[in-house]
Amino acid sequence: MESTTKTVVMEGILDANDALAQANRDKFDQAGTYVINMMSSPGAGKTTILERTLEALGGKLRMGVVEGDVQTSLDADRLARFGVPTVQINTGSEWGGGCHLDANMVRCGLPSLPLQEIDLLFIENVGNLVCPAGFRLGEDTRVMVASVTEGEDKPLKYPFMFRSAELVLVNKADLLTHLDFDLALFLRNLDAVNPGAPRILLSARTGQGIQEWYSWLMTRREAVAQSV
């Protein structure tokens, strides 16, 4: 009985979130802004990848960032030097400690961003392999960062996030020679939960694979620009 009540309450929360996510999506579409929800476990390299991306593509695309963290503006501070519009959302102090962003939090952050002047908006979700996957934010696509230090078993243990990603960035490839991480096994596990999921082996440290990531971004953005 109790678990039935919990299920109904959770469905209600997700339905309400979906409605707000759709409203966010409408705003993004009106502005012609392509939105990427970046998700990963804590420390997989989301902000480091964003640092490289903002630096490399700054002259080609107008970008913006929604930074989600439980506490602090440390990540937004790291990105400040690139001069792109950024809004920080602290799920802890402002929203009671959430382990993920939800559509309402993003909705409340949007007035701080000049959407009409942003072609590509990155939403860096709170580092967590579980909850972010359950909450749509109004994004066009989801990119997941999985680093090689996390173990080959993660797709099997956290299938929802791996399944919901349209692209998996396998980061920290520069560390492979120092680890006993079995890349082939990891990719088999990824295929078991998300068959054929596009993936890029990347090192935000050395730049390995980074051009492929930029090409993926440019292709996505161009496809949207042509359809508007």
Which residue number, 113 or 143, has a Cβ lying nearer to ligand GTP? 143
Minimum CB distance to ligand GTP, residue 147 (Å): 7
In the complex with ligand GTP, which residue's Cβ is closer, 166 or 174? 174
Element holding 25 (H helix, E strand): helix 2-31
Beta carbon nearer to Mg ion, 67 or 102: 67
The rounded distance, in Å, linking the Cα atoms of 220 and 141 is 10
Strands (E), the chain: 34-40, 63-69, 86-90, 120-124, 141-147, 167-171, 199-201
For residues 75 to 94, the per-residue mask of contacts with Mg ion, x marking binding by CB under 5 A and - elsewhere, is x-------------------
CB of 74 to ligand GTP, least distance (A): 8
Q: Can you tell me whether residue 138 is helix, strand or coil?
A: coil
Tokens matching residue 156 = 């099997």
17 membership: H or E segment, kind and range: helix 2-31
Summarize as ranges the residues that interact with ligand GTP (CB under 6 A): 40, 42-48, 75, 127, 171-172, 174-175, 203-205
42 binds, among Mg ion, ligand GTP, none (CB under 5 to 8 A by kind): ligand GTP
Q: Binding-site residue total for Mg ion (CB under 5 A)?
A: 3
